[in-house]
Chain A
Amino acid sequence: MKERLLIPREEIKKRIEELGREISRDYSEREPILICILKGAVYFAIDLTRYLSIPFIIDFMAISKYSGSSSGVVRITKDLDVDIHQKDVIVVEDIVDTGLTLGYLLRNLRARNPMSLKVCTLLDCPSRRIVDIPVDYRGFEIPDVFVVGYGLDYKERYRNLLDIVVLEE
């Protein structure tokens, strides 16, 4: 498959800085819990925290991925270590596309009664959306292309690319 540059590293860095400032401003005097969704959002979440000027707690969560098997249902494979009851929570995602994964996560997290629950995603691909999900902080809106790099993978490859690239056949 061919790779085509979509978002260069400089633009990613600049935008993450902006998001960090925006979140710091919105959450001034508060201490949000950032929930990084494994594995794709790790790179983004860590870089985002470097630009936060407010205190925060970071935690990680992982859910099983659809594998084409007919009988399974989604389940949490790594749950939070912290209690989010009556806390401000920001879910940090690498990409929001169909909204299926995030929809499940938000349903699950809402049941734990956080004070507030917001979504911060590096990439948003609204044209692929199946279920509506509110996105509060968005790095880049992208067209319906298959992207990898900066945490996003294709069969576990390409995560460590510094730029975000389109994989084309």
Chain B
Amino acid sequence: MDIKIITISREFGCNGTEVAERLAKGLKFFLVNKKYINESMVKHGLTEEQLESLEESSIQPFSDTRKKYIELMNRLILEIAEEKPIVLLGRGGQFLFRNHPYAFHVKLIGSIESRVLEVIKQYKLDKVSALRLISEQDRRRDLYINKIFGGDWHDPSLYSLIINMDYFDVSGAVKMITRAIKIAERNSYVKFEGVSEYPKDATGYIPHFAHSSEEEFAKLLDFYGIRWLYEPKTFILECDSEGNIISAFTPDFYLPDFDLYIELTTQRQRLVNYKNRKIKRLKELYPDVNIKMIYGKDYKNILRKFGLI
């Protein structure tokens, strides 16, 4: 099995950009960085000013326009990953391709001391300004990931390899990642053999479905050539005053060609009512999001139509 997607997540001041560039060059992978994404977004009609507004940091929920830009960005990344092997720098790649069978997730970390030194050197700043910049960037990345993917990017289980850049220079890190990928490719081969029976999402990933009805539904979509993603996004429904998430909702499927989320509900009435309330709230908070609920009765009639029950 060949690794086709390498995601690089990094704490600010860990030379992530250089590591990603050299790694892509060495492996002959296509580098998907901010520059490439911005150029692609401009091709899709966004102006430079709109792109700049994407970088603004705020604890407030994202505006609808910004959410649309981010959805477009995610779609562009998924599309390029289908075309050729990529090294993806930042942009929540570890979530976008989470558990993807052909993805390898790297995180670069460092002590605050070494990061400050690196930032002083790179940006010609004094110590206070460097520390402030690191703090601002760390906070921005926390918020970005939390808002878009509803997850914590510091969770080590998200990564295939975490490198402490206090101990390695860029060249050493690139060598280590390249070597680690070769080992992972050998070890993963058996793991993914014989899984062609299972439904694959729009990126080729075989998800672990929470319920057999979801797997059946994915097979149905596959049969009719409808591209889908399983639980790709969590919508935040409520936060406390410090921005911690109190309530969120993750629809089962997203159909990118129809810009449609689908929630399957084949459970007990009490849970259906609970989900209905959440979907009602989601529609209030995200009026531009298209979501459809398929209830147990609908689903049964769909299966009956195909003679499956």
Please name all residues of chain B whose beta carbon is closer than 8 Å to the beta carbon of A71 when the two chains form the complex. Answer: 196-197
Q: Nearest-CB distance from B209 to chain A (Å)?
A: 12
Q: Does B161 contact A (CB under 8 A)?
A: no
Least distance between A144 CB and chain B CB atoms (Å): 6
Q: What does DSSP make chain B's interface, helix, strand, loop or mixed?
A: mixed
Proximity string of chain B (272-309) to chain A, C-beta cutoff 8 Å, 1 when within and 0 when not: 00000000000000000000101001100110111110
**B interface, size bucket:** 20 to 34
B225 adjacent to chain A (CB < 8 Å): yes
Bound: A53/B165 CA distance, A = 79
Q: Is B226 positioned at the interface, with any CB of A under 8 Å from its CB?
A: yes
Tell me which residues across on chain A come within 8 A of B258, comparing CB atoms.
131-132
1/0 per residue, CB under 8 A from B, across A135-147: the answer is: 0000000001110
Does A74 count as interface, using CB distance less than 8 angstroms? yes
Whether the Cβ atoms of A154 and B304 lie closer than 8 Å is yes
Question: How many residues of chain A have a CB within 8 Å of chain B?
Answer: 27
Surface stretch bound by B, among A25-33, A80-88, A96-104: A96-104
> How would residues 214 to 257 of chain B score, 1 for a CB under 8 Å from any chain A CB and 0 otherwise?
00100111111110000000000000000000000000000100
Closest A residue to B292 using CB positions: A130
Is B199 at the interface (CB under 8 A from chain A)? yes
Contact partner of B197 among A70, A101, A146, CB < 8 A? A70
Contact partners of B294 in chain A: CB under 8 A: 130
Q: Is the interface of A mostly helix, strand, loop or mixed?
A: loop
Report B-chain residues with C-beta under 8 Å of the C-beta of A77.
Answer: none
How many whole Å from B172's CB to the nearest CB in chain A?
45
**Please, how many angstroms separate the alpha-carbon atoms of A72 and B225 in the complex?**
10
A97 to B221 alpha-carbon distance, docked (Å): 14
When chains A and B are docked, how far (Å) is the Cα of A68 from the Cα of B258?
A: 23
User: When chains A and B are docked, how far (Å) is the Cα of A127 from the Cα of B298?
Assistant: 8
B220 — which chain A residues lie within 8 A by C-beta?
Answer: 66, 100
In the complex, the answer to whether A66 meets B224 with C-beta atoms within 8 Å is yes
Query: Are B226 and A131 closer than 8 Å at their CB atoms?
Result: yes
- Check if B198 is an interface residue, CB within 8 A of chain A: yes
Please measure, in the bound complex, the distance between the C-alpha atom of A101 and the C-alpha atom of B196, giving whole angstroms.
24
Smallest Cβ distance from B229 to chain A, in angstroms? 15
Tell me the minimal C-beta distance from B223 to chain A in angstroms. Answer: 5
Q: Once bound together, how far apart are the Cα atoms of A101 and B220, in whole Å?
A: 11
CA distance A6 to B255 in the complex (A): 33
A155 CA to B306 CA, complexed, in Å: 8
- In Å, the complex CA distance between A68 and B217 comes to 10
**Within the complex, what minimum Cβ distance (angstroms) separates A77 from chain B?**
14
B260 at the binding interface (Cβ < 8 Å): yes
- CA A131 to CA B216, docked complex, whole Å: 17
By beta carbon, the residue of chain B nearest A68 is: B308
Q: Is the beta-carbon distance between B216 and A128 smaller than 8 angstroms?
A: no
Within 8 Å CB of A144, what residues of B?
297-298, 301
A97 to B219 alpha-carbon distance, docked (Å): 18
Q: How far is the CB of B141 from chain A (nearest CB, A)?
A: 36
Q: Are B224 and A68 in contact (CB under 8 A)?
A: no
B81 within 8 A of A: no
Assembled-state Cα–Cα distance A132/B297 (Å)? 20
Residues of chain A contacted by B255 (CB below 8 angstroms)? 130-131
Residue of B nearest to A65 (CB): B306
Task: Please tell me if A111 contacts chain B, counting CB pairs below 8 Å.
Answer: no
Q: Which residues of B contact A131 (CB under 8 A)?
A: 226, 255, 258, 260
Q: Are B225 and A104 in contact, CB atoms less than 8 angstroms apart?
A: yes
In the complex the two chains form, is A74's CB within 8 Å of B197's CB? Answer: no
Cβ of B262 within 8 Å of any chain A Cβ, yes or no, is yes
How many Å lie between the Cα of A67 and that of B309 in the bound state?
11
In this complex, the member of A98, A132, A154 whose beta carbon has the largest number of chain B beta carbons within 10 angstroms is A98
| A73 with B225: CB separation less than 8 A | yes
Asked if B260 and A73 sit within 8 Å, CB to CB, the answer is no
A98: chain B residues within 8 A (beta carbon): 302, 305
Q: How far is the CA of A107 from the CA of B225 in the complex (A)?
A: 10
Query: In whole angstroms, how far apart are the Cα atoms of A150 and B255 in the complex?
Result: 33
Q: Other CB < 8 Å A-B pairs besides A70-B199, A70-B219, A104-B224, 15 of them?
A: A66-B220, A66-B223, A70-B197, A70-B222, A71-B196, A74-B225, A98-B302, A100-B221, A100-B223, A100-B224, A104-B225, A107-B225, A144-B297, A146-B304, A154-B307
Please give me the 7 A-B residue pairs with the lowest Cβ-Cβ distance, nearest first. A100-B224, A66-B223, A66-B306, A70-B197, A146-B301, A68-B308, A104-B224
